[in-house]
Amino acid sequence: MTAVPQERRLVTAIPGPKSQELQARRSAAVAAGVGSVLPVFAARAAGGIVEDVDGNRLIDFGSGIAVTSVGSSAEAVVRRASAQLSDFTHTCFMVTPYEGYVAVAEALAEVTPGDHAKKSALFNSGAEAVENAVKIARSYTKRQAVVVFDHGYHGRTNLTMALTAKNMPYKNGFGPFAPEIYRVPVAYGYRWPTGPESCGPEAAAQAVDQISKQIGAENVAALVIEPVLGEGGFIEPAKGFLPALRKFATENGIVFVADEIQSGFCRTGQWFACEDEGIVPDLITTAKGIAGGLPLAAVTGRAEIMDAAHSGGLGGTYGGNPVACAGALGAIETMREQDLAARARRIEEVMKGRLAAMQEKFEIIGDVRGRGAMLAVELVEDREGKEPNAAATAALAKACHNAGLLVLTCGTYGNVLRFLPPLVIGEDLLNEGLDILEEAFTQL
């Protein structure tokens, strides 16, 4: 494991001169459409720290967008992936298979919700996993329609752009999109017209009504939802919403797909976010936190549904790459041995207390929400009107970055600061990061 001191250190302005040199090279060689949150170039990272090429050490509240939950250089991930690298880097599972792929599928069957017979297929990215979940559901049901939800995010491929709610920057100018995609309301408690208390049942009733009347339940192959919405603003659907949809799907032969790409693998204080209300999905898509930073994704689900696609119908040259599979087994080992679900719950305890105190102090914080180490604050012009305050969100993120705290924004309205610290972060760094955030609010 990389020996990166677990302390914040600023030796230059952010970004420093070496990062600026690299940024100039990047501008000349890398397509302008590829963005970056913060133009500091990483040199090393471990635990709760990212060290840049200038020697600055930043506290990490982003985890590479919920990817490095076990840290950026976790011992078990490095050990297993290194051992695999020295054996072979690739054969293609579709040509000559190898044990690692099978072992990851077995581990996924163990850790995902439900005690039914399960199978998995492995891919490279979250978008690929979602796309394949739709393929599998259509093959199984012999139906075509797919239902998704307001504020949902599912990827950047053509099909997953269609599934994603937000136009800019994900969809704008990239159409036409795949057909037979239908969007219905989600239970966004903070912005529900009649208030959060009645949001779950009312939103579920609206969604079911729209599906029944506008599409016809008998035409729906899959219902795809994030149990905690990610890019859309870290929205926890109000209680009762997910169980009502799960029931509706079961009654109508619809495949219920939980997109746990951002919320999975101990991030929300449980192995998977859908466990919070006892939801057992038919299919679950995973990526991000699955392999400690190596590119891997999976669709895991009921064996009879997973087996619906014809032989050769699923796959891809790199899907379930052996080095990535070794990394996944190392990440799952780390999560188990260090009980990272409990660590996520402790992070929530520390952070939510501090964020709630900030909400009392700063009128701009309209809502504090999330679970485990997947937390957010929604910023508004004023609490009465709840007008989204994207400008303040961007300014706060910039102030945090300048002070050595890496934070991310999200939300359909661009007004949500999200916090995704590595689950292995020390509490001293966690509190120091919150101090920086509070100071940024004070200076706003």
Q: How far apart (Å, rounded) are the C-alpha atoms in residues 150 and 187?
A: 9
Average pLDDT score over residue span 141-158: 98
Tell me what pLDDT residue 2 has: 52
Question: Domain map of the chain by residue range?
Answer: 17-73+340-442, 77-338
Residue-averaged pLDDT of the chain: 97
Is the pLDDT assigned to residue 1 strictly greater than 90?
no
The token duo for 95 is: 């040509």
Spatial strand order in the sheet of 405-406: 42-46, 49-52, 57-60, 405-406
pLDDT above 70 as % of the chain: 100
Tell me what pLDDT residue 3 has: 87
Nearest to 119 by CA among 316, 336, 314: 314
CA angle, residues 312, 316, 319, in degrees to nearest 5 = 120
Is the pLDDT assigned to residue 80 strictly greater than 60?
yes
Average pLDDT score over residue span 347-369: 98
Q: Amino acid letter at 260? A: E
Q: How far apart (Å, rounded) are the C-alpha atoms in residues 46 and 4?
A: 6
Is the pLDDT assigned to residue 219 strictly greater than 80?
yes
Tell me what pLDDT residue 310 has: 97
| Check whether domain 77-338 has CATH 3.40.640.10, yes or no | yes
Q: Are 17-73+340-442 and 77-338 the same fold in CATH?
A: no
Q: Which of 3.60.21.10, 3.40.50.720, 3.40.1000.10, 3.90.1150.10 is the CATH number of 17-73+340-442?
A: 3.90.1150.10
| pLDDT 10s digits, 240-294 | 999 999 999 999 999 999 999 999 999 999 999 999 999 999 999 999 999 999 9
Average pLDDT score over residue span 34-62: 97
Tell me what pLDDT residue 294 has: 98
Contact 131, 259 (CB under 8 A): no
Beta bridge partners of 9: 57
| pLDDT 10s digits, 108-132 | 999 999 999 999 999 999 999 999 9
Q: Which single residue is written with the structure tokens 């720290």? A: 49
Tell me what pLDDT residue 63 has: 98
Helix, strand, or coil (residue 377)? strand
